[in-house]
Structure 1
Amino acid sequence: MKGTENLFRRFLSLVSAKVIATGIAVLSTPVIVRLLGPSGYGDYAVLLSIFSLYMIPISGTITEGVQKFVGEGRNRDGWTEAVVRFYFLIGVGVVLVGALILLVVTLAGLPGRLFAPAFDRYVLLLVPFVIVSQIRAFGTHTVLGFGFEHLSGPLSVLKKFGTVAVGIALVLAGHGVAGMLVGHVVANLLVAVLAVTIVLRQLSLRTLLSPPALPYRKLMSFNVVNVGLVLLGMSLYHVDLVMLRALTDSQTTGFYKAALAMAEYLWFVPIVVQQLLLHSTSALWADDEVDAISELSSRVTRQILLLVVLLAVGLATLAPRVMRLYYGAPFVVATQPLLILLPGTIAFAAARPLKAIAQGSGQVLILLAAIGAAATVNIVMNAILIPRYGMVGAAVATSVGYSSMLAFTLLAAHRIGFNPLADFRPGRIILTAAVTAVPVLSLDYVIESNLLALTVVPPVGALVYTVTAVATGALDPAEIRPVLDRLPDPIDDLLTRGLEYVARS
């Protein structure tokens, strides 16, 4: 199918990089938390949320647009150069305006009055962060549009590594939260230079300077609606932090952010799939291959849920041990909000790839209505529950908001014309999780040592879960064949024969 050639190989290029980047985050986060402390970590988390929300109308004008329209690969001379030039000029203009507004607001002292005096200095550092992040976003999304997942992945790893390396070094030098923000600026600048260099090497300079005309109305319409999509979508996992910090204190926000970050680790594969499917399915939509899109979305939805449910079962079981060892004893209080967040996290994981497929169709107004409904549920519930129940209320509201995102996205998919539930198998997935929970909970109960439990429980749970999934029919042996093929013989052959036997039994 056009647009999905070597999809698994391209997925592995991105997911392997995402695993490395997530590994860097896993190793660096407890260091950052301990260096900044609960209050400093809470302020750092809020600043990143403010930055992410502020970047939506700035980067939302270019990111998905340049990735989608470059990815469509129109058979027309100069199309790619025209798209790249169009989005680059828009991106530069918007980011200069955005940086100027942020500078004026900061010099007026508004951040310090809203949160704390130190926020005036912190938000001032967001000005260069906004500029370099815009250039980096343009470059990396264009690289994805070209189908260069093997290059995009290493760039994301470099960004993560550069951020934590420079940031932690500056924190150790005594610069605290400001040091971490400078780490982001330096890493984004480096990746921006490399990504733009890759893009320029794929283009004709002469055509870039004098590109053919484009259907500007279509591109601008996509851009405007996409800003709304990104704004509403990002609000689902940033509004709670900002509201919690404004209504409570930095320490409570730090504890809640720890729970939120731990739950979001479950998204590392869904995020990669979402990135891959936007430009891959755009070509399928352009060729009107609706049946292929339904088949792909259905399989992806089921496989994503299977993976995330496995991770959630393990994390829910080991949550108190994980929070104590990973963040430190004071953060054990974040266990309750973490457990509350997990059901919504599972639902949102399934919604992510569906959002990309729906977005690739170009029928973004339907998707905008769906995400808007979920964002409204999230904001209203946070406004009601945070003042009364603090971080527990934020967790309940956010989990419900995440869950509503899946429900509304499924309705949008139906309206757009593809069916992601054709091969869902919900009963078999639930049965697989229930069977796996028995040995996982039992092992956790009998093992006293935290380190031993974290060493033994995950691999045993993964083995039981995989075998059970094949036995119940939640997963077909052929679906994991591409993964097994990458294992050395005779392990590959033994596992394949074993799973095929389980499936026949």
Structure 2
Amino acid sequence: MSRDLLRSFSSIFGTKLGLLLVGILSTPIIVRAIGSEGYGNYAHLISIFSLLMVFTKSGIFNGIRKYIVEDRSVDDWHNHVFSFYFRTSVLISGVLAIILLSLSQIGQFENIFSGDYQYYFVLLAVYLFLGQFYSIGRGALMGFGREHHSEPIQMLNSISYAGVGLLLLYFGFGVDGLLIGHIVATGIAGFLSLWLVRNELDFTQLIKPLSDSVPQKQFLTFNFNSVLLAFLTVSMYNVDLLLLRPLAGSSETGIYKAALTVAEFLWLIPMAIQYTLVHSTSEMWYKDQQEQISSIASTATRLNLSLLVIMGIGLIFLADTFIPLYYGSEFTPAVGALFLLLPGVLGLALSRPIFAIGQGKGQLKYLVLTTGASAVLNLILNIILIPKHGMYGAAVATSIGYGSMFLFHVVTARFIGFNPIADLRIVRIGVAGILAAGMIFGLKYFLPPLPALLLVPPIGFVVYVLASVQMGVVDTPEIEKLQRHMPNKLDKVFTLLKNIRNGEHPTLHH
């Protein structure tokens, strides 16, 4: 990766890590405050919201990131791109918010949902509309390469939600308090994002007609395909929850949601890579730098897999200790669902950077077809397995659907014009994983539960890194490139890693 790519990734990854920490700290409090049934209802509402956000956010957010970075020979290109997507987003989110408000008022609503859902839908409508301003502002900041601004705002959004939501829970609110927390947080984040981007853009363009040279048809086509692609993807993330609640009840849905949340820890690094690559590779595609794109894709896939392996091993060995301690003994059945979910979550995590590079090119037809195939497979399996096997059926169905994404998108990448598995080094990664797994198993066996949770992850990670370097999972130039972006105080550590990689006697001295 270039210096700019690594800087962007570092900003995004740091924020993802912070978001994970906020979630780790707030989730057990939320779960204990509203119970598994309330948590199931909250998960159900957020699934509905996520599906609606596909129409309001996905095409807008991806489109503004992709096109605003392109240096086209059109006067005020950046302003025209921003103006087009701002108007489109306000129109779409406004219409959907009105539809939500209307649905909450129809007479048959309470026959479909519980009475509280009528109020929840009003809150969802407000959240949906305000959230669009944040999406526009964040997309513009990222398109201009200002992840060092966009990502701290995302962190602030998460902290604000947790703070307001937990405060309202303390004062007796329930699921509605969490939704109000989202509304307040996204309002603050939206205002700050647009404020920070004001010097890059001329907001008066919002009330002026667009230039005839602006390719509005191209924008709309990309927007439509992005929405379709995102709908298929988000349906995969939520169809299990949407089907599980009416078929198995809120309590089992809450337990299954806990398993999903833990499994999705694996998405931390892949999501950071994905968000980095869309607008970064868009400019490369525009300049026809195909060889550089293939090199980035294969390196990203290899490093992504190597990190996912150690994270997956850690979850496998520590889940039976972590889940009851973190969520409470009521959620112990989530351990079995987690084990069933992990293979598919790994596959989907691997597909994320591949997906992003294809998105950066703008030709989404192949991505829509392959993602659609996975989504249909996922839906059919969930419909078949949930009635018979409940959350375990949902876990198996979802795992197969998720896993198919990686296989399908590797094939799709070749059609688009790059090879993401040219330098995978899967045998070397496997050997390093086996060595680390042995160490992790031994430590877990001999240590009590709480010390194991504290000591096994860092020790296992260090062992895995050393084994990966020794096995040649990473190259010396890649180590040196990372070193250049790290504090000088870590130079001795990187010298050790380079010595191990080059087969020299390990030493911490220069």
- Fold in common (TM above 0.5): yes
Task: Give the Cα–Cα distance (whole angstroms) in 2 for the partners of residues 111 and 67 of structure 1.
Answer: 38
Verify the 8 A CA contact 1:484 1:496 in the aligned structure 2.
Answer: no
Residue 507 of structure 2 aligns with which residue? none
Note closer, same or farther for the CA distance 1:376–1:329 as it changes in structure 2 (3 Å cut).
same
Q: Which residue of 2 aligns with 1:384?
A: 384
Once the two structures are superposed, residues 432-476 of structure 1 have per-residue CA deviations (whole angstroms, 9 ceiling, x without a partner) of 2112111111111121x2210011111111011111111221222
> For residue 384 of structure 1, what is the amino acid of its counterpart?
I
Q: Which amino acid aligns with 2:453?
A: L
Q: CA deviation at 1:494?
A: 4.1
CA distance in 1, matches of 2:71, 2:45: 38
Once the two structures are superposed, residues 42-95 of structure 1 have per-residue CA deviations (whole angstroms, 9 ceiling, x without a partner) of 111111011001121222341111111102232432111111111111111111
Say which is worse superposed, 480-489 or 260-269, in terms of deviation.
480-489
Distance 1:480 1:341 in 2: 33
The AA in structure 1 aligned to 2:88 is: I
Superposed counterparts of 1:59-138, under 5 Å: 59-108=57-106, 112-138=110-136
Is 1:365 matched up with 2:357?
A: no
> Could you say which residue in structure 2 is the equivalent of 1:319?
319
The CA distance in 2 between the partners of 1:399 and 1:476, in whole Å, is 32
Give the Cα–Cα distance (whole angstroms) in 1 for the partners of residues 105 and 243 of structure 2: 23
C-alpha distance in structure 1 between counterparts of 2:203 and 2:28, whole Å: 46
SS at 1:200 equivalent: coil
Q: Which residue of 2 aligns with 1:12?
A: 10
- For 1:410, the equivalent position in structure 2 comes to 410
User: Which residue does the alignment assign to 2:245?
Assistant: 245
Note closer, same or farther for the CA distance 1:502–1:288 as it changes in structure 2 (3 Å cut): closer
The 5-angstrom pairing of residues 216-227 of structure 1 reads: 216-227=216-227
Of 483-492 and 459-468, more deviation after overlay is shown by: 483-492
Q: Does residue 235 of structure 1 match 2:246?
A: no
> What's the counterpart of residue 307 of structure 1?
307
Secondary structure, aligned partner of 1:247: helix
5+ residue gaps, structure 1, are none
Aligned to 1:469: 468
**Distance (Å, rounded) in 2 between the aligned partners of 1:425 and 1:114:** 51
Distance 1:470 1:31 in 2: 40
| Pair 1:8–1:486, CA change in 2 (3 A) | closer
The structural deviation recorded for 1:197 is 1.5
User: What is the Cα deviation at residue 114 of structure 1?
Assistant: 2.7
More displaced 10-residue stretch of structure 1: 207-216 or 324-333: 207-216
Counterpart Cα distance in 2 of 1:73 and 1:402: 36
Amino acid at match of 2:381: M
Mapped partners of 2:177, 2:481: distance in 1: 43
Tell me by how many angstroms 1:498 deviates. 4.4
Q: Distance in 1 between matches of 2:60 and 2:485?
A: 37
Task: Give the match for residue 331 of structure 1.
Answer: 331
C-alpha change, 1:259 and 1:111, in structure 2 (3 Å) is farther
Structure 2 SS opposite 1:236: helix
Which deviates further from its counterpart, 429-438 or 229-238?
A: 429-438
- Give the conservation status (yes or no) of the 8 Å contact 1:79–1:212: no
TM-score normalised by length of structure 1: 0.96
* Superposition deviation, residue 234 in structure 1: 0.6
Is the 1:62–1:91 contact (alpha carbons within 8 Å) kept by the matching residues of 2?
yes
**Higher mean C-alpha displacement, 156-165 vs 106-115:** 106-115
Q: Which residue of structure 2 aligns with residue 460 of structure 1?
A: 459
Gaps of 5+ in 2: 505-510
1:50 is matched with 48
Which amino acid letter does the alignment assign opposite residue 283 of structure 1? E
Amino acid at match of 1:237: Y
How far apart are the structure 2 equivalents of 1:23 and 1:168?
A: 15
Match of 1:139 among 137, 140, 152: 137
Greater Cα shift, 427-436 or 400-409: 427-436
Task: Indicate the residue corresponding to 1:292 in structure 2.
Answer: 292
> Residue 161 of structure 2 aligns with which residue?
163
Secondary structure of the structure 1 residue equivalent to 2:333 = helix
Distance in 2 of aligned mates of 1:135 and 1:205: 14
Report deviation, 1:492. 2.4
Structure 1 residues 437-456: aligned runs within 5 Å:
437-447=437-447, 449-456=448-455
| Equivalent residue runs for 1:199-278 within 5 Å | 199-205=197-203, 207=205, 209=208, 211-213=210-212, 214-278=214-278
Letter of the structure 2 residue corresponding to residue 57 of structure 1: F
In structure 2, relative to structure 1, the CA distance for the partners of 1:438 and 1:108 (3 Å cut) is same
Alpha-carbon offset, residue 109 of structure 1: 5.1
User: In the TM superposition, what whole-angstrom CA distance separates every residue of 1:469-500 from its partner, at most 9, and x where no partner exists?
Assistant: 11221222432334445555564224423442
Q: Distance in 2 between matches of 1:115 and 1:478?
A: 57
Contact 1:298 1:424 in 2 (8 A): yes
1:181 aligned partner: 179
Partner of 2:477: 478
Amino acid at match of 1:280: S
- For the residue of structure 2 that corresponds to 1:252, the secondary structure is helix
Using the alignment, how far apart are the partners of 1:352 and 1:70 within structure 2?
22
C-alpha RMSD over aligned residues: 1.7
Q: Secondary structure at the match of 2:332?
A: helix
User: 1:477, 1:496 within 8 Å by CA — same for their partners in 2?
Assistant: no
Residue in 2 that maps onto 1:198: 196
| Mapped partners of 2:60, 2:463: distance in 1 | 44
- Kept in 2: contact 1:351–1:405 (CA 8 A): yes
Between 106-115 and 166-175, the greater mean CA deviation after superposition:
106-115
Q: Which residue of 2 aligns with 1:433?
A: 433
Shift in Å, 1:115:
3.7
Shift of 1:204: 2.9
User: Could you tell me which residue of structure 1 aligns to residue 492 of structure 2?
Assistant: 493
Q: Which moved more, 1:388-397 or 1:17-26?
A: 17-26
Assess, with a 3 A threshold, how the Cα gap between structure 1 residues 190 and 485 changes in structure 2: closer, same or farther: same
Is 1:420 matched up with 2:390? no
Q: Distance in 1 between matches of 2:271 and 2:107?
A: 36
Asked if 1 retains the 8 angstrom alpha-carbon contact of 2:38 and 2:250, the reply is yes
TM-aligned CA deviation for residue 248 of structure 1: 1.0
